[in-house]
Structure 1
Amino acid sequence: MTMEILLNIASGSIDKRTLRRRTFLGVVAASSFLLPALSGCTSSPANTLRIAYQQWGSGKVMENFLSSISGQFRAKHPDLQIQLIPLVAAENDYFTKNELMMSSDSTTPDLVCEDTFILKSDVAAGYLQPLNQRLEGWQPWNEVFDSAKTAVTGEDGKVYGMPTGTDTRALWYNSELLAKAGLPMPWQPKDWTQLLKDLRSLHKALPEVIPFNIFSGKAQGEKASMQGFEMLMYGTGDTLYDGDRKKWLTGSQGFIDSLDFVQKIYQEKLGPPLSRALDANLTETVYSDWLPKGGLAVALDGGWISNNWVPGAPAEWPEWSKVMKQAKMPTQKAQAPGYTTLSGGWCWAIPARTKKADLAWEYLQTIATTANMTAFNIADNGVAVRKDVAAQPKYRSYTPTIQFFTSLVEGATFRPALAAYPQISASIQLAMEKVMIGGSTPKQAAQDYDEQITKIVGADQVMGASGR
C-alpha cells in the first residue's frame, strides 16, 4: 500500500494541494505509519464498510461507541462486515494519515471522523463530498446549533460534515490552593490585569506550586494556538481573519498584546519551567500529575479534562469535583461579553473516493440518533451541539461541570477553518515560542508572523488590522 501511495504522488493522482500543506518527507513518513492500521489493504470488499477515526492513546471511548453502533447497524445488514480503523497518532499526524488514506481509491475509508478545523482544508484538497442533498428534510440536522453548522460548511457554502460534539475552554483552578494563597472564592478574574496580579500572588504565597499553565510553543501544536494564543487574542477585540473581507489580518495590536501576556507568564516564572513547557508530553503531565497532586494552581484548558480523573481513568481522583472549580477566561479589559472561549469539535464526513456513500450515510444516520449522540457526548465528556441532546436529563447531569461549559457555547469563537489555517497555526506557535524563550520581543515576533502569513497566503490575501 505504501508503494501505491508513493506512486500516486509521483504520477500526480494525489492532489498537488496536499503537497503544499505537507512536505514530501512528511508524506513518506506518514505513509509508513499507516501500515499497522491498514496492513495489506486493497480496495474495500463489497460487503465491508470501513470507518476511520482518531484514537487517543489507549483510550477506547470511540471504539466502544462505534462497536455499539455497528451492532445496531448489522441488525439491518446481517451480512455486512464493518472494519473500524483506529489511527493512534498525535493530532497533526492523524490529519496526515487521514489525508493519505482518502487520497487513494484502494485505501479510502467509507466514513471518516474529521476535526472541524481541518475540514475546509480537506474540502479544498477534494477529499470530501457535500451532504446537502442528504440533509434536506432530515430532522436531526434541524437540531444542530447554528454555530456548529457553520463549522462544517465549506467556503463554497456546502455542508461537508455532521457535527458530533464541541468543546469550550475556561480556567480550571484548584480552590484549595487559591484559598491558601488568600484569593477570594469563588474566583473570577475580571480582566488580564487581575488575572496576572492573582497569579503573582500565588507565586509569592506558594513558591513550590506552578501558578498557571497555558499551552504554548511548537511542541504543543494546535493546543498552543487554540487553547493558548487564541483564548487571549479573541479577548482583545482583534481577530486572525476578517470574514467579511476574506483577508488575514496583519499589524494587530491584539496579536502583540497576546504575545506580551505569554512572555510575562514565562519571564516572571508564573508558568512551568521552559524545559517542561516545551515538552511534547506536557499534556499528560498536567492532567495526570500536576493537577491531581496539587502541583498546578490554574490551567487554561478544555471542559473535557476531568475525564482523566473519573473512576477507572489513568489518574483517578475521587475528590476532583470538590477541589477543581471553573472560572471564565476574562477578556483583556473586561470588554463585552466579559469572557473568551474557543470552540472546536469533530464531525463525521464521507470521503469523495468511497464507492459506498449511500451505505456510509445510512451508518451515519444510525450514529446521529438522539439516544446515540447523547450516549456519545456523555462517554466522551463532550459538549452537545444539538438542542435535542442538550435537553436530555442524562446529559444535563452527567458531570458537575457540563452546565458551566455548555453555557459558554453561546459566546464561543471558532477558529478560521480555512485551507491555510494549519500553516497559520504553525506560525502562531513559532511566535509564542520566540517570546517564551526570550528570542524576540512581542512586537518583533508579531512582525515575523505578519511576514510569514503573507508568504503563506499571498499579499493579496492579507490586510492591516485597522482595515488598511
Structure 2
Amino acid sequence: MRRRSFLSGLLGAGLLLPALSGCAGNSANTLKIAYQQWGSGKVMENFLAKISEQFRLSQPDIQIHLIPLVAAENDYFTKNELMMSSDATTPDLVFEDTFILKSDVAAGYLQTLTDRVQGWEPWQQIYDSAKTAVTGEDGKIYGVPAGTDTRALWYNTDLFRQAGLPVPWQPKDWQQLLADLAVLKKTLPEVIPFNIFSGKAQGEKASMQGFEMLLYGTESTLYDEAQKKWVIGSKGFIDSLSFIEKIFSEKLGPSLSRALDANLTETVYTDWLPKAKLAVALDGGWISNNWVPQAPGEWPEWSSVLKQAKMPTQHGQAPGYSTLAGGWCWALPTRTKKADLAWEYLKTISTTENMMNYNIADNGVAVRKDVAAQEKYRTYTPTIQFFTSLVEGATFRPALAAYPQISAAIQEAMEKVMISGTSPQQAAEAYDAQITGIVGAEKVTKGVAK
C-alpha cells in the first residue's frame, strides 16, 4: 500500500492522532519543533536547546516545545507526515530529509519559502547543488539545507597490508575493486572483504549508499532531467545489479542472513569495523561518530587504521569517482499558524557559528561556503576535508514525489539478485514494469545515458 493511502486510512479511522496530539501543546506562545532522533542520540536535542536559549533572548515569552520522533527512517517519515496532516498536531518547524521533501510538497504538507529566502544572506552562502535539493518541481524553494553528506570507501590499512595490497589505496575502476576484494577473501578468509548495503531490510541506505553509488558511476542515470522522465531499460542499471550479484555469489560481502538483517548498520559500525572483521565499507563520512570517546563503539585508533578512497566509476571514466549526497533541511508545515515566528527561529539556527557547531556535532558536511571556510570546521575531524572535497562532483537523488516508491523497487531488485535465482536482466525487467506502473508509461524513457 502506498504511504499516502496508508496515512489517509489512519486518519479516516482516527488512529494514531490521539497519541501524537499529546506530544505538543497548541498554546499561542508555544513553538513546536519536530525532528528525528536516532535511538538515544542527543545531537539535535542538545543543539536546539542552545538555539532556544538564544531565541528567548529576543522572544522571552515564547516556549519552545521540542518533539523528538524516535523512529527508523521510514517510520519517521510516516509519523512526521501524520503530524503535519492535522491542525491539531502539526509542528511549526520540521526537519525534513531532502529525499522525502518533494513528496511532502506534492502532498501539500509544506509551504514555500521562496519569498523568505530572497535577499537573505545565509541563503547566498548555500551551494547551488544543495539549493537544488530543496527546490520543488514548480521551481519554488521549500527548505533551508542544514547539512549534507557524501559517500566513499573506508578501508582497513592493517588488513590491506596483511593481504599485500597497497596503502594508500585507490581502485581505478570496478574491475580493480573486485579484484582487490578477491585478494582479501583469499588471503584473509576470516575477514569480510566488503560491505555494501543491499536489499529491502536496509531501506534507503541500500538505494542511495549502495545501488546509486554504482549506477551513477555508469553511463546511465535514474531520472532524465531533460525529458522529465524516469529511465528504464538502461545498461547501467543491469551492470549495477550484476555488481551486486557478484558480491554475494562470490562471497565478497556478508552472508545473506547478515546482509538482510535490519540491524546490520549497528553491527558494521560497532563490531565489524572496530574489530577488524570487515576490510572495506562503502559508507558515509559521518560514521566515525560511532568511535569517538563515549560512543557505543569507542575506538581511539580509528583515524590511523581506517583510510578513505573514492568509489571509482565503472570504467574509470570522468570524473573518476561517484558519490551520492543527501542531507536534511528545515521546512515550514503548511498548517502552522506561527510561520513568521518559526522563520525567526530558523534564522537563529542559521547563523554561521550555529551552523558550524551543528555540522561539527553531527559529523556532517557543510552546505554553506561560509561554514566550509571556518578553520574550526576544516579541522574538526581527520576526514572532513576528504568528504567535503567530494561535494563538487556529488549527485543528489531525484527527490521527486515518486522517488520513495522507486527506491523501494530498487531495493527489491537488489534483493532478487542477492538471493540468486533471478538474473540481473530479469530483475531489471521486473523493475522496469514496476516503475512504469508507478509513474505511467508517459513518464518513462528507455536507456538514456548521462
Q: In which range does the TM-score fall when normalised by the shorter chain?
A: over 0.9
Provide the secondary structure at the position in 2 that maps to 1:329: coil
Change (3 A) 1:453 1:34: farther
Offset at 1:133? 1.0
**Equivalents in 2 of 1:326, 1:439: separation in Å?**
34
Q: Are 2:52 and 1:67 aligned? A: no
Change (3 A) 1:342 1:31: farther
Aligned letter for 1:346? Answer: W
Aligned letter for 1:317? Answer: W
Offset at 1:32? 3.5
Is the Cα–Cα contact under 8 Å of residues 172 and 324 in structure 1 kept in the other structure? yes
**Equivalents in 2 of 1:46, 1:364: separation in Å?**
18
Is the Cα–Cα contact under 8 Å of residues 34 and 97 in structure 1 kept in the other structure? no
Q: Are 2:360 and 1:378 aligned? A: yes
Change (3 A) 1:280 1:34: farther
Residue matched to 1:135 = 117
Provide the secondary structure at the position in 2 that maps to 1:207: coil
Residue matched to 2:284 = 302
Q: TM-score, normalised by structure 2?
A: 0.97
Offset at 1:439? 3.0
From 257, 260, 263, the equivalent of 2:239 is 257
Deviations 1:256-294 (A, max 9, x none): 000000000000010000000000000000000000000
**Equivalents in 2 of 1:442, 1:62: separation in Å?**
41
Aligned letter for 2:315? Answer: K
Aligned letter for 2:115? Answer: Q
Identity of aligned residues (%): 75
Deviations 1:130-166 (A, max 9, x none): 0111111110000000000000000000000000000
**Equivalents in 2 of 1:403, 1:450: separation in Å?**
39
Residue matched to 1:119 = 101
Q: Are 2:219 and 1:234 aligned? A: no
Deviations 1:150-193 (A, max 9, x none): 00000000000000000000000001001110001101000000
Residue matched to 1:50 = 32
Q: Are 2:9 and 1:32 aligned? A: no
Residue matched to 2:423 = 441
Offset at 1:76? 1.0
Offset at 1:111? 0.1
Q: Are 2:339 and 1:357 aligned? A: yes
Q: Are 2:1 and 1:19 aligned? A: no
Offset at 1:314? 0.8
**Equivalents in 2 of 1:463, 1:430: separation in Å?**
21
Aligned letter for 1:209? Answer: V
Residue matched to 1:283 = 265
**Equivalents in 2 of 1:195, 1:34: separation in Å?**
52
Change (3 A) 1:119 1:113: same
Is the Cα–Cα contact under 8 Å of residues 17 and 125 in structure 1 kept in the other structure? no
Q: Are 2:133 and 1:151 aligned? A: yes
Offset at 1:19? 2.6
Aligned letter for 2:4? Answer: L
From 386, 392, 396, the equivalent of 1:414 is 396
From 360, 381, 384, the equivalent of 1:402 is 384
Residue matched to 1:222 = 204
Q: TM-score, normalised by structure 1?
A: 0.93
Is the Cα–Cα contact under 8 Å of residues 217 and 314 in structure 2 kept in the other structure? yes
Is the Cα–Cα contact under 8 Å of residues 240 and 248 in structure 1 kept in the other structure? yes
Q: Are 2:323 and 1:338 aligned? A: no
**Equivalents in 2 of 1:202, 1:23: separation in Å?**
47
Q: How many residues align?
A: 449
Question: Which ranges in structure 1 are unaligned for 5 or more consecutive residues?
Answer: 1-15
Offset at 1:312? 1.4
Aligned letter for 2:323? Answer: T
Is the Cα–Cα contact under 8 Å of residues 24 and 67 in structure 2 kept in the other structure? no
Provide the secondary structure at the position in 2 that maps to 1:299: strand
Provide the secondary structure at the position in 2 that maps to 1:340: coil
Aligned letter for 1:267? Answer: S
Q: Are 2:433 and 1:451 aligned? A: yes
**Equivalents in 2 of 1:64, 1:47: separation in Å?**
22
Residue matched to 1:5 = none
**Equivalents in 2 of 1:294, 1:246: separation in Å?**
45
Deviations 1:90-133 (A, max 9, x none): 00000010000000001000000000010000000000000111
Is the Cα–Cα contact under 8 Å of residues 31 and 97 in structure 1 kept in the other structure? no
**Equivalents in 2 of 1:168, 1:177: separation in Å?**
24
**Equivalents in 2 of 1:305, 1:402: separation in Å?**
12
Change (3 A) 1:257 1:203: same
Question: Which ranges in structure 2 are unaligned for 5 or more consecutive residues?
Answer: none
